[in-house]
Amino acid sequence: MMGKTHALSGALAWLAAVPIIGQERLLGEHAVALSPEQVMAGAVVCAGAAILPDIDHHNGRIANTFGPITNHMCKWIGKVSGGHRHATHSILFAVGIGWAMDTLATHYIWAWWACLFMIVGLGLRGVGLDFEGAEPQSALADCALALIAVWLMRNIDMSFVGFAVTLGCLAHVAGDCLTPRGCPVFWPLPWRVELPVIPRTDGKVERWVVMPVLVLGIAILTVRSVLGDITAQWLTRG
């Protein structure tokens, strides 16, 4: 699937999960009551995290996000993980990277801001907010926008990031399972999960069915999650 589709699916997954994340009876001490600012920040983080599994692709648009830095990083990760759509496209990776980001956000805030900078940059590249083919202008633009986003989120309590990053990665894996080749969801077990209802990346089904549905879902859930029950009742009042 395209980076734009992955990013939108991450934002949708986050907004759909917001009511659950605050439920103490389900999550106990891990439940997080989210403010509107945290909900929106979580959507940004989750959208960026929905691009993260593709850091195993040495020749994709993501690899050029921050120029040589991400280019070499993707090449190295691709070799270590076994190539594109291997270890990074799994539940184990999603949970592991979510736990790692939560640890950084809780105990090592400067390291978390560096990772947030990377995640936001990947998300921007994924949704197409760059100058594709124009380097190094594109990398510099990504850097500037990612820095602005990190600055705007600097005072927000990031206790939710473990959920956001894990959900984003899982949304990516689920999306790729809907395309040919599928994903090794239960890596290191070799079984690949594949349900190819989307026959071709960037094809008509993805562009004219999947993406509009994701955008509509995000619009509806944004009203529900950020503006609250009163607005939702007003919008649905006969």
Q: What is the mean pLDDT of residues 109-130?
A: 82
Q: What is the mean pLDDT of residues 217-224?
A: 86
3-state secondary structure of 183: strand
Backbone angles phi, psi at 188, to 5 degrees: -85, 5
Distance CA 198, CA 190 (A): 22
Please give the pLDDT value at position 226: 62
pTM: 0.89
Please give the pLDDT value at position 164: 95
Helix axes 3-21, 109-127, angle to 10 degrees: 130
pLDDT in tens, 63-94: 777 777 888 888 899 899 888 899 999 999 99
pLDDT in tens, 132-182: 556 667 677 778 888 998 899 989 999 899 999 999 999 999 999 999 889
Fill in the DSSP letter of residue 223: I
Distance CA 43, CA 90 (A): 21
| pLDDT confidence band for 11 (50 / 70 / 90) | very high
Please give the pLDDT value at position 132: 57
| pLDDT confidence band for 238 (50 / 70 / 90) | very low
Distance CA 52, CA 62 (A): 9
Q: Is 19 left (phi over 0), alpha (psi -120 to 50) or beta?
A: alpha
pLDDT in tens, 35-47: 888 988 999 999 9
| pLDDT confidence band for 100 (50 / 70 / 90) | very high
Please give the pLDDT value at position 72: 86
Backbone angles phi, psi at 104, to 5 degrees: -65, -45
Distance CA 123, CA 41 (A): 13
pLDDT in tens, 183-207: 999 999 989 999 988 888 778 898 8
Inter-residue contact 46 to 13 (CB < 8 Å): yes
108-111's contacts with Cβ under 8 Å and 24+ in sequence apart are none
Between the two ends of the chain, the Cα-to-Cα distance in Å is 39
